[in-house]
Structure 1
């Protein structure tokens, strides 16, 4: 019988429980979960911040990687290695903070070789979102010769992978972080400069001096507004998060006077082929990128405390969850 972290709409909110097989959802594919990871959205769900969880009880965890143990869908067979990210899993549907889960076949993609399931979750939704952001910027025409690219929230999951992938692609990356003690690590990931988040949090002019040819923003709010105001002509910004604020206190000036493009990046409902293409690009990245990523591995019993730490800004890098630990 699999163990799972279960959320309830009462105290205690998060409880480690052992589930009978008949309590698992009636869905087509049963997966033995090798690894999951803790994302900011997971932390919000576990701590009760925001309106992430739609119904109780719920097993959180917006992504996982593992091995199929049973399937009634012809697309998957036993022993297939698979990855799940998005689709409302861990929000509307039971997710990856468990030793096993039954899920819809539509939610799964094959885990491409040579990527292991552990490595897949070192990237997880954060790495997938970072790769989708890089793809979006490149498809919009951004190239390394255009100038520096800023990454906000650079010490977080999406931000740190964005720094690493952009640097690998040949871009000059300027990492923006509120954690100055992580500067050396961000430099090892490939950042050419590390900038203080405080320099981007005060309301600035609608159009400021130009700095960036591109940006990946995970923060939103005033940070994103200031990045837009500082973009070079025809600059491109991939917006992927709202860790700071969902509001956007900006004007139309960067868009109509400098031709700046604000590109939305979704990692939840992207179609299968786009999702698979992003994972194939991730699998082709050199192993050296993995060696520079800061990783802490935890068990299910550690998730609640680490979720609070993430909400309070006391984590960095990747938190990998081994449900069998």
Structure 2
């Protein structure tokens, strides 16, 4: 293998651009594990990077794609052998090193995760960063004493990848889930994957009080801003709000009242830089007791590597639904 096809992103005197090209294999970012990529996925971050509408890459040129799954073809680290199925999510892919939108990718062994036995490479990419984020949020909430008896979990942005996978994953873990979304046309699908209630975000009427009647045991928030601020006064004593997105706003216009009166905790979910031991634990559970039951429903689109750019603008405009996987090989 001397060359490979990749969606490569440049930013130079010719301007910012990304597209399919043939590149020299020796130009790939270094790493102990050479992987023949089979599947990747499209995340909001990938759309920002691919279009240049967000400052994601820290160096150029790089191959896009913050997720990848495939087969090891060579390794200088004894932990990985030729033929092993592996995956990687986040961890600097398409930021400081080449990502998964290429026929091959070199990964440091420290970033390479053995594929859970119950997952195919395609299923792993339906999960990808989105599923990892939702499961990491659940792990953080459980570590902070969240239990189902505290009440239902509100999941905002419920028709996005993190939201839909969160509905399935939290339900599998025994929690009642209420899905919050501005897309009521998809409520039947949300109920089918486990939501016991669906709430149109346009119909929400928060009281504006710093404290209100506790209606939720906790929440997984993808939106931020006034949405997060409105739900915090509704969370039960010692419940948790796991924060993983800012689709609405990065601001948080609220008071300290829910925190100092009810003991509500806000837990940050930073999936990109998760320590290896936690990363291994999350993937162990995603391949085990937390494996979503409805991956086929949640994966709403599949594109070839050559067509990956076709979904970026729709995603950035808020028009995506569920998860999009990218077929790299085969």
- CA deviation profile, 1:79-127 (whole Å, cap 9, x unmatched): 1111101211111211011111112111111001021111111111111
SS of the equivalent of 2:19 reads strand
CA distance in 2, matches of 1:259, 1:158: 26
Identify the residue that residue 2 of structure 1 maps to in structure 2.
4
Identify the residue that residue 289 of structure 1 maps to in structure 2.
294
- The normalised TM-score by structure 2 is 0.93
CA contact (8 A) 1:87 1:269 kept: yes
CA contact (8 A) 1:236 1:261 kept: yes
Identify the residue that residue 180 of structure 1 maps to in structure 2.
184
- CA deviation profile, 1:149-197 (whole Å, cap 9, x unmatched): 1000111111111101111222111001121111011001100111112
Q: CA deviation at 1:273?
A: 1.9
Query: CA distance change for structure 1 residues 43 and 257 in 2, over 3 Å: closer, same or farther?
Result: same
CA distance in 2, matches of 1:105, 1:286: 25
CA contact (8 A) 1:202 1:222 kept: no
Query: CA distance change for structure 1 residues 139 and 12 in 2, over 3 Å: closer, same or farther?
Result: closer
Q: CA deviation at 1:322?
A: 0.6
- CA deviation profile, 1:30-79 (whole Å, cap 9, x unmatched): 11001000011111111212221212212111111111111122221211
The equivalent position to 1:319 in structure 2, one of 313, 318, 324, is 324
CA distance in 1, matches of 2:303, 2:136: 27
CA distance in 1, matches of 2:207, 2:250: 15
CA distance in 1, matches of 2:59, 2:169: 36
Structure 1 residues not aligned, in runs of 5+: none
Q: Which runs of 4+ in 1 moved over 6 A?
A: none
Task: State the aligned residue count.
Answer: 325
RMSD of aligned Cα (Å): 1.8
Q: How does 1:63-212 map to 2 (within 5 A)?
A: 63-199=67-203, 204-212=208-216
The equivalent position to 1:224 in structure 2, one of 211, 225, 228, is 228
- The normalised TM-score by structure 1 is 0.95
CA contact (8 A) 2:148 2:217 kept: no
CA contact (8 A) 2:168 2:293 kept: no
Structure 2 residues not aligned, in runs of 5+: none
CA distance in 2, matches of 1:302, 1:204: 45
CA contact (8 A) 1:200 1:222 kept: no
Query: CA distance change for structure 1 residues 142 and 287 in 2, over 3 Å: closer, same or farther?
Result: closer
Q: CA deviation at 1:217?
A: 0.5
CA distance in 1, matches of 2:63, 2:37: 13
